[in-house]
Structure 1
Amino acid sequence: MKKELLFAFAAFFMMSLSTITGVFAGEDRKGDTITIVKDEADLSGDGKKDSISIEGTRYEEDSDFLREVFLQIKASNGERFKVELEPGYDPQLQFIDVNGDGVKEIYISVATGGSGGLSNFYLYTLKDFNLKDLTVPDPVMMTTQFLDNYKASISIQETGETYTFDLKSRAEDYEKSGLYNHGKLNEPTELMVDSYSSLKPITLKDGSTGLKGIQRVSGSYHADSIAFVESIWKYNDGKWTLDKVKVVDIESSKKKKK
């Protein structure tokens, strides 16, 4: 009888241990690092290909959100580099040459997953096996405000130009929200200005590679889109310079499509 009890207890213990081990194994799988993107290119300028990958750890096993994101580089000379990026979704990898040195840089975008459809962008050079952050251009700086009679204005600091928008078609909503009282602005109110929703490499008129950014400007709430600010950037002497800026009136664009 004692032997039977002993065997029964041992069997129960092994089953319990197996269950616990299975739970921890499941947690380990959630924390596994996975490779999202992998590619090869000569980034050092030595004529040999370097191995580049973007790796991440999922927030949960079936989640698309990456709570950790890393840039991993295995250079042709055997050196290894690792850069921690911001968490997010769907990392994208490109090789471009923005500084005109004949050696391509690493360009990365990682979507934040927020309601504004924003992304974080990164630009690194590995020339001569020296990893350096070239950064991307800061978003266009602007001063914004609502005006009386259901209007709004955007002033671009870099160019000094001001754009005015007629928002009378939204008067009813603005009155209900308390933003206006019979066309009179209740209090000074700025517009909502996003960072880049898009920042893509483009070919400039001189044949060099630059970046084109798009920022959304909204009114009393995020979906109340008023304009898109498009900017063209060129990399000169170790810094980004604004080549061109265009403000697109969403209301006018809708009218043109009709």
Structure 2
Amino acid sequence: MARIQLDNVSVSFPVYDSSTRSIKNRILSNNAGGSIDNDTNKHQSTVNALEQVTETFDHGTRVGLVGHNGAGKSTLLRVLAGIYEPCSGNLLIRGHVAPLFDIALGMDHEATGYENIRLRGLFLGLSKSEIDRKTDDIIDFAELGGFLDLPVRTYSAGMLLRLAFAVSTAIEPEILLIDEGIAAGDAAFLEKANKRLHEFTNRASIIVLASHSPDLIMSMCTSVVIMERGRIIASGNPAEMLQFYADPTTSAHRAQ
């Protein structure tokens, strides 16, 4: 069965240039972006994007990641997707990971829509035979007709999102990673996309969702993890965690 296990996982990014002081001031003034260590001898600052994150998600888990911008939600998703490597700690992933964020990643703007179906499918871990079996469904869902013969650089933003969304949701997910801001074009297509997304998430063994929407969290998640400055500060029942997060007293405490 699918499983995610993080044991004291940390991720940091060194910043070497002369702008580190202004970066630090911006991050601290906005109460975002994790903690920062300075090395004045090397003119280097280190942004600690995740610090000693320990959590386990088993089969059936639908977890919502909650926190302000820069709290570490997206960094954690990218660690789980294999985009970022932990600097320390241990990460165990059991099951096929399907990231539903940066959904146009891996697409070639000079290639045609048909070619990008194959490229994006390979990027998501599908075999050539799997892509061949799913191509007709992707074409029907994207509703791009003859534009699939053209380079995607000729597409509008909405058309590109249609194609990327159609390919991304054609896979069979075990571990599904979602960043909230998924847009898929016009209102009619958005309704169709939301229905497909609902079916897609029902098939997943584990879902990790980063969101600012309490309604989405309550409708989709069985547990909530609250993040602050790259750390997990609380986790538990969605209703209790969202109340805790919204409490101005606890918010003030987290800002210190």
TM normalised by structure 1 equals 0.26
TM normalised by structure 2 equals 0.26
Structure 1 or 2: more strand by fraction: 1
Structure number with greater Rg is: 1
Higher relative contact order (CA 8 A, sep 6+): 2
Structure 1 or 2: more helix by fraction: 2
